[in-house]
């Protein structure tokens, strides 16, 4: 039985610049960009040290944590760089992905849709590819803007979405790489960049059905279309990257959700979850505050004055968030190694951290050896010469180089050194 053709088929598409060359140029950008996103995503998960107690944001990972490695505390900007590349890079790739989808749109309306079992399977793998990338871009953008229009965990969706997408991506690259290389060789980029609108002609008819059978008169050159995609990515980077880079760049990050000022002064840097949202009980942060430090069977209880009386260390270290923003400040406080020594916990140890916070997934975390024994790791009491503000974690907060921001626990109430 022959089905009647739908009103829109691949023959309805008329853009004279669609063709394998244009698709391949966009594809080659994604062939670099997507693996970078995937690798930085994997690294991001590893940075949480998910094999330690309390730390795993995706406990249902199954065998997909096979690659995990012990995270490191040096260089201190490692997590900042990784997240900046992942988040700002993902935003910058968004227009490239949309342009790529536009360039292959006739393929989605091919008629008949499934001419052979081979094509049917290939289309199913494309569903993983297209659904996967849109899920990743969508959940990523909604997460950095705090728009949780769902009940599932962002970490679950973005983690498993990445693996589903990569299944489709690897299949697509393996199947299409030869076509991409051939298509890229069919025209010279340099010549194409020198071709104005008046001389823009459709690519020769192709077996993929991208070049229109009935092309419209061109209204934009190929170089113009590519320039528009590049300009879109550049605009996104200029208007958002400042929240990750910090410094003067922060002032032009007009559309970055976390590029904003808190009104000046020594504590004018990004707050992640103010005290009110964390359910901080102020009666526990005043004179009644005690930090309990433990190792094996030894326990010390310290007031904030006790902590200030201990040798102080000053470090310039970043807080970097998985959402891509970061801020580097000058912190003063007690070194974690000195606190460990107070209770005989020095040496190789992990560190369990408790917070006064009651609302949130990060009230209890575990810091791995490399970070807990780094001499720069602090229990900070002051920042930029002033006492911590309550929203920045007063009376005391953790500052550990290269650790995900949420593990730099605020309102620390307990430190337990686990000697191996």
Contact segment (CB under 8 A) with other proteins among 44-52, 169-177, 303-311, 406-414 equals: 169-177
DSSP reduced 3-state for 293? strand
Q: Does 343 bind other proteins (CB under 8 A)?
A: no
List, in order, residues 6 or more apart from 229 with CB less than 8 Å away. Answer: 26, 95, 96, 99
The least CB distance from residue 225 to other proteins, in Å, is 10
Which of 69, 147 has the CB closer to other proteins?
147
Closest approach of Cβ 44 to other proteins, in Å?
A: 18
Taking the CA atoms of residue 174, residue 177, residue 179 and residue 185 in that order, the dihedral angle to the nearest 10 degrees is -170
Contact 26, 99 (CB under 8 A): yes
Q: Which is nearer to other proteins, 221 or 332 (CB)?
A: 221
Closest CA to 328 of 276, 376, 263, 395: 376
Cβ atoms within 10 Å of 400's Cβ, excluding its own: 28
Please pick, from the candidates 81, 239, 245, 249, the single residue that binds other proteins as defined by CB under 8 A.
239
CB-based burial of residue 59 (10 Å sphere; 0-12 exposed, 13-18 middle, 19+ buried)? Answer: exposed
* Region for 62 from its dihedrals, namely left if φ exceeds 0, alpha if ψ lies in -120 to 50, beta otherwise: left
Identified binder of other proteins from the candidate list 31, 68, 134, 179, rule CB under 8 A: 134
Under the criterion CB under 8 A, does residue 174 sit at the interface with other proteins?
A: yes
The token duo for 115 is 């001419």
In angstroms, the Cα distances linking 384 to 98, 219, 246, 275, 314 are: 43, 56, 16, 20, 9
Question: Which of 91, 302 has the CB closer to other proteins?
Answer: 91
Question: One symbol per residue from 373 to 392: x for binding other proteins (CB under 8 A), - otherwise; what is it?
Answer: ------------------x-
Q: How far is the CB of 371 from other proteins (least distance, A)?
A: 24
Question: Binding mask 90-119 vs other proteins (x if CB under 8 A, - otherwise)?
Answer: -x--xx--x--xx--x--x------xxxxx
Cα torsion angle, 36, 85, 147, 281, sign: positive
- Looking at residues 179 to 238 of the shown chain, list those that interact with other proteins (rule: CB under 8 A): 197, 219-220, 224, 228, 231-232, 235-236
3-state secondary structure (DSSP) of residue 211: coil
Is 127 an interacting residue with respect to other proteins (CB under 8 A)? yes
Contact window for other proteins (CB under 8 A) among 67-75, 120-128, 367-375, 376-384: 120-128
- Site residues for other proteins, 252-291, by CB under 8 A, read 254-255, 257-258, 260, 262, 270-274, 276-277
CB 150 within 8 A of CB 36: no
Minimum Å distance from CB 144 to other proteins? 9
Of the candidate spans 57-65, 68-76, 286-294, 299-307, the one that interacts with other proteins by CB under 8 A turns out to be: 57-65
Tokens linked to 369: 């050896």
Shortest CB 276 distance to other proteins, Å: 8
Shortest approach of other proteins to residue 286 CB, angstroms?
21
């Amino acid at each position: 039985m022959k089905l009647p053709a739908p009103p829109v088929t691949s023959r309805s598409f008329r853009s004279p610049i669609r063709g394998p060359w244009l698709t391949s140029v966009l594809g080659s950008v994604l062939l670099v960009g997507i693996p970078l996103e995937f690798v930085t995503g994997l690294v991001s998960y590893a940075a949480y040290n998910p094999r330690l107690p309390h730390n795993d944001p995706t406990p249902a990972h199954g065998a997909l944590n096979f690659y995990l490695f012990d995270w490191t505390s040096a260089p201190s900007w490692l997590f900042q760089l990784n997240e900046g590349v992942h988040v700002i890079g993902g935003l910058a790739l968004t227009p490239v992905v949309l342009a790529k989808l536009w360039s292959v749109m006739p393929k989605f309306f091919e008629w008949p849709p499934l001419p052979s079992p081979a094509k049917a399977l290939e289309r199913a793998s494309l569903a993983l590819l297209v659904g996967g990338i849109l899920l990743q871009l969508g959940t990523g953008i909604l997460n950095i803007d705090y728009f949780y229009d769902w009940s599932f965990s962002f970490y679950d969706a973005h983690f498993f979405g990445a693996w589903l997408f990569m299944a489709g991506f690897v299949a697509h690259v393996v199947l299409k790489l030869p076509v991409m290389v051939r298509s890229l060789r069919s025209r010279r980029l340099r010549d194409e960049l020198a071709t104005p609108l008046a001389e823009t002609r459709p690519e020769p008819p192709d077996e993929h059905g991208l070049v229109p059978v009935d092309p419209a008169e061109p209204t934009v050159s190929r170089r113009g279309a590519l320039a528009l995609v590049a300009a879109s990515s550049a605009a996104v980077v200029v208007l958002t990257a400042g929240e990750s880079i910090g410094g003067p760049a922060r002032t032009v990050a007009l559309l970055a959700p976390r590029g904003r000022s808190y009104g000046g002064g020594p504590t004018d840097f990004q707050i992640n979850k103010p005290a009110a949202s964390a359910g901080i009980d102020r009666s526990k942060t005043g004179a009644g505050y005690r930090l309990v430090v433990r190792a094996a069977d030894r326990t010390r209880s310290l007031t904030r004055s006790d902590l200030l009386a201990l040798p102080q260390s000053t470090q310039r270290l970043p807080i970097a968030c998985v959402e891509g923003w970061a801020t580097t400040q000058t912190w003063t406080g007690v070194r974690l190694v000195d606190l460990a020594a107070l209770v005989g916990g020095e040496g190789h140890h992990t560190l369990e951290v408790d917070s006064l916070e009651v609302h949130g997934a990060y009230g209890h975390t575990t810091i791995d050896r490399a970070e807990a024994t780094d001499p720069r790791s602090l229990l900070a009491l002051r920042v930029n010469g002033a006492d911590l503000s309550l929203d920045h974690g007063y009376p005391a907060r953790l500052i550990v180089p290269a650790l995900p921001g949420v593990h730099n626990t605020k309102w620390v109430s307990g430190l337990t050194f686990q000697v191996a």
